[in-house]
């Protein structure tokens, strides 16, 4: 069996796809519709106005005719004839006023005059009751002469008694002719308005074409969908600002990194984020590429690019982990250098021990080994007795080794007492590590280089002081050192400097504390960090007991 032939598809006209063509066609259709509507709205009241004018003119002619004393006298004294005085006078008035007809009737409704002589003496075709009752009538009606605008008035005699009525008609064709005569001029105006509208539509469409780059609406819709998917899918924060400096777009990553939501849209960075380097970078007050900034506990890399419409787009990358890894790498390099030095020192000690044994100085060899082992053990025990948090104790022991290899004496103050009740030990490790590293850098190469660390628990607060014997910090620079990106040292291999002290202050302020720098006694710098709510619960009486007891 042969398969049935599918019905032919009916071809339908396809609309143009380009935005320019679609906008132009829509605006031309709107302009044409407005022109037609305006023409109709103008013609409708004009037609009614012409009707009213024709009826008033007919009424005025009827009133003038009714005031002629010959008409009323003729109705009372003569019969309705073609050659009668009423007919002659009515025709004279009709020709003078160019009315379609002037009809005079008696009280019974019989005609005394008419344009057609054969109609004289016959009953009128339309009702005249209102006029015979003494009322004036204006109307559009149809009679023996067709459709006309009519005016009817009562006819009074010399003693002001109603003896009949006068009806005057204006041919409706003349009213329509006047209306039609106006239409060409009206269409000319409408055509001119349509031409101006078409030109404006073309100019607007050209502008839209340039702004949309002659794309189709479907292409623009697809681009918007792709943009939304891309913006919210990438792991990089994007902040778009308009020409007024207000935020107009935030993707999901920017909300996460900046800690803000949709309430920031429509507001300036100063209003949404408050004061800070991040705000200055987004607002364009700080320029450059790969600008480092700290928001909360996050280290961000920001770039800002202006757009053609006067706005800007800023991108944000989370560099927190990279900075942490970089600091760990620096510490690892320092530790490796320390281990190399210790290896060399250990080799020297082993050679010394070997020499003592070869010389059979056994007692001296035992004493030498005891001294070496005891010094290291005493140093670790001194730290752990004063600092019971394992992370902090391990940090300071490691920093002590690094400091010793760099020729710096790292000393934990005798006033140091810190129980193992820290709420955020990692945060305090970051603060102490940054301050100690900065202090070690500050005293590098100085004679009698020394760094002192003091950690005290005061109720639930922790007070940290780090003193050094370096050159110190001038008074005018003591606030600048906490500014993101500010540093007097060369940048490390893994990135830029100027983040450590800024991060210290941010971490302290996040816990409601503070970080300041002053001049230490005897010169150098003293950094003081106060964390008011750093410890959990009330301090137990045995909190300051030694964590380790010396074993022999």
User: Is residue 527's pLDDT more than 90?
Assistant: yes
Q: How far apart are CA 238 and CA 229, in angstroms?
A: 13
Task: List strand residue ranges (DSSP E) for 307-402, in order.
Answer: 312-318
Closest CA relative to residue 143, chosen from 130, 121, 131, 126: 126
3-state secondary structure of 454: strand
User: Is residue 303's pLDDT more than 80?
Assistant: yes
DSSP β-bridge partners for residue 164:
106, 155
**What pLDDT does 544 receive?**
38
**What pLDDT does 551 receive?**
31
Mean pLDDT in residue range 65-70:
86
Banded model confidence at residue 235, pLDDT cuts 50, 70, 90: confident
**What pLDDT does 408 receive?**
84
**What pLDDT does 171 receive?**
75
3-state secondary structure of 462: strand
- 234-318: which CATH topology? Beta-Lactamase (3.30.450)
Domain 21-178 matches domain 234-318 at the CATH topology level = yes
Q: How far apart are CA 107 and CA 134, in angstroms?
A: 11
Banded model confidence at residue 493, pLDDT cuts 50, 70, 90: very low
Q: How far apart are CA 234 and CA 299, in angstroms?
A: 18
User: Up-side HSE of residue 39: CA atoms within 13 Å toward CB?
Assistant: 21
Query: Contact at 8 Å (CB) between 107 and 72?
Result: no
Strand-strand pairing, 247-250 and 237-241:
antiparallel
Q: How far apart are CA 38 and CA 61, in angstroms?
A: 35
> Each residue of 123-174: pLDDT tens digit?
888 888 888 888 888 887 766 666 678 889 999 988 888 889 999 988 766 5
Q: Among 23-27, 273-277, 299-303, which stretch is predicted with the lowest mean pLDDT?
A: 23-27
Mean pLDDT in residue range 360-386:
68
Strand-strand pairing, 101-106 and 162-171:
antiparallel
Banded model confidence at residue 334, pLDDT cuts 50, 70, 90: low
User: Is residue 85's pLDDT more than 70?
Assistant: yes
**What pLDDT does 372 receive?**
62
Q: Transcribe 175-207 into DSSP letters.
A: HHHHHHHHHHHHHHHHHHHHHHHHHHHHHHHHH
Q: How much of the chain exceeds pLDDT 90, in percent?
A: 6
Banded model confidence at residue 324, pLDDT cuts 50, 70, 90: low
Query: CATH for 21-178, among 1.25.40.340, 3.60.15.10, 3.30.450.20, 1.10.10.10?
Result: 3.30.450.20
User: Is residue 189's pLDDT more than 70?
Assistant: no
Q: Among 58-62, 347-351, 438-442, which stretch is predicted with the lowest mean pLDDT?
A: 347-351
What angle separates helix 85-97 from helix 19-66, to the nearest 10 degrees?
Answer: 150
Please state whether the predicted TM-score (pTM) of the whole model is above 0.85: no
Most confident of 214-228, 393-407, 509-523: 509-523
Length of the chain measured in residues? 552
User: Is residue 257's pLDDT more than 80?
Assistant: yes
- 322-544: which CATH topology? Heat Shock Protein 90 (3.30.565)
User: Is residue 424's pLDDT more than 50?
Assistant: yes
CA distances from 300 to 250, 263, 315, 316 (A): 16, 22, 10, 6
Burial class (CB in 10 A: 0-12, 13-18, 19+), 131: buried
**What pLDDT does 543 receive?**
38
User: Is residue 494's pLDDT more than 50?
Assistant: no
> Each residue of 442-471: pLDDT tens digit?
888 778 888 999 999 988 889 999 999 888
Banded model confidence at residue 266, pLDDT cuts 50, 70, 90: confident
Banded model confidence at residue 34, pLDDT cuts 50, 70, 90: confident
Q: Domain extents for the chain?
A: 21-178, 234-318, 322-544
């Amino acid at each position: 069996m042969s398969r049935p032939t599918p019905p032919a598809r009916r071809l339908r006209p396809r609309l143009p796809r380009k935005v320019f063509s679609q906008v132009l066609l829509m605006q031309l259709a709107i302009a044409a519709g407005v022109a037609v509507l305006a023409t109709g709205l103008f013609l409708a009241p004009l037609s009614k106005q012409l009707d009213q004018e024709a009826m008033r003119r007919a009424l005025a002619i009827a009133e003038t005719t009714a005031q002629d004393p010959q008409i009323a006298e003729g109705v009372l004294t003569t019969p309705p004839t073609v050659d009668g005085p009423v007919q002659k006078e009515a025709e004279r008035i009709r020709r003078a006023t160019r009315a379609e007809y002037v009809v005079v009737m008696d009280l019974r409704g019989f005609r005394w005059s008419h344009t057609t002589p054969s109609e004289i003496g016959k009953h009128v075709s339309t009702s005249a009751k209102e006029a015979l009752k003494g009322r004036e009538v204006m109307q559009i009606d149809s009679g023996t002469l067709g459709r006309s605008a009519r005016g009817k008035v009562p006819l009074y005699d010399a003693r002001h008694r109603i003896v009949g009525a006068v009806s005057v008609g204006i041919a409706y064709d003349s009213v329509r002719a006047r209306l039609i005569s106006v239409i060409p001029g009206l269409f000319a105006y409408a055509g001119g308005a349509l031409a101006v509208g078409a030109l404006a539509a073309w100019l607007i469409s050209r502008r839209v074409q340039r702004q949309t780059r002659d794309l189709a609406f479907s292409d623009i819709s697809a681009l918007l969908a792709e943009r939304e998917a891309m913006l919210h899918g990438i792991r990089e924060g994007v902040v778009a600002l308009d020409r007024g400096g207000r935020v107009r777009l935030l993707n999901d990553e920017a909300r996460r990194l900046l800690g803000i939501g949709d309430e920031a849209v429509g507001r300036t960075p100063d209003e949404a984020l408050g004061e800070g380097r991040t705000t200055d970078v987004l607002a364009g007050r700080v320029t450059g590429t790969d600008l480092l900034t700290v928001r909360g506990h996050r280290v961000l890399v920001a770039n800002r690019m202006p757009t053609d419409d006067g706005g800007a787009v800023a991108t944000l990358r989370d560099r927190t982990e990279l900075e942490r890894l970089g600091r760990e790498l620096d510490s690892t390099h320092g530790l490796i250098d320390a281990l190399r030095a210790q290896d060399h020192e250990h080799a020297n000690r082993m050679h010394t021990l070997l020499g003592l044994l070869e010389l059979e100085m056994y007692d001296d060899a035992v004493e030498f080994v005891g001294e070496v082992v005891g010094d290291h053990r005493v140093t670790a025990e001194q730290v752990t007795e004063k600092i019971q948090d394992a992370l902090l104790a391990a940090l300071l022991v490691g920093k002590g080794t690094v400091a010793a290899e760099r020729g710096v004496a790292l000393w934990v103050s005798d006033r140091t007492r810190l129980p193992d009740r820290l709420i955020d030990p990692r945060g305090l490790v970051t603060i102490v590590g940054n301050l100690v590293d900065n202090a070690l850098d500050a005293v590098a190469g100085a004679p009698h280089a020394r760094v002192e660390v003091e950690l005290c628990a005061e109720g639930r607060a922790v007070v940290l002081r780090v003193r050094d014997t370096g050159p110190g910090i001038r008074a005018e620079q003591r606030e600048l050192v906490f500014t993101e990106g500010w540093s007097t040292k060369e940048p490390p291999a893994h990135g830029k400097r100027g983040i450590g002290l800024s991060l210290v202050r941010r971490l302290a302020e996040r816990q409601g504390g503070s970080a300041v720098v002053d001049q230490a006694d005897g010169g150098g710098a003293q950094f003081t960090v106060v964390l008011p709510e750093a410890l959990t619960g009330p301090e137990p009486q045995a909190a300051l007991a030694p964590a380790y007891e010396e074993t022999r």
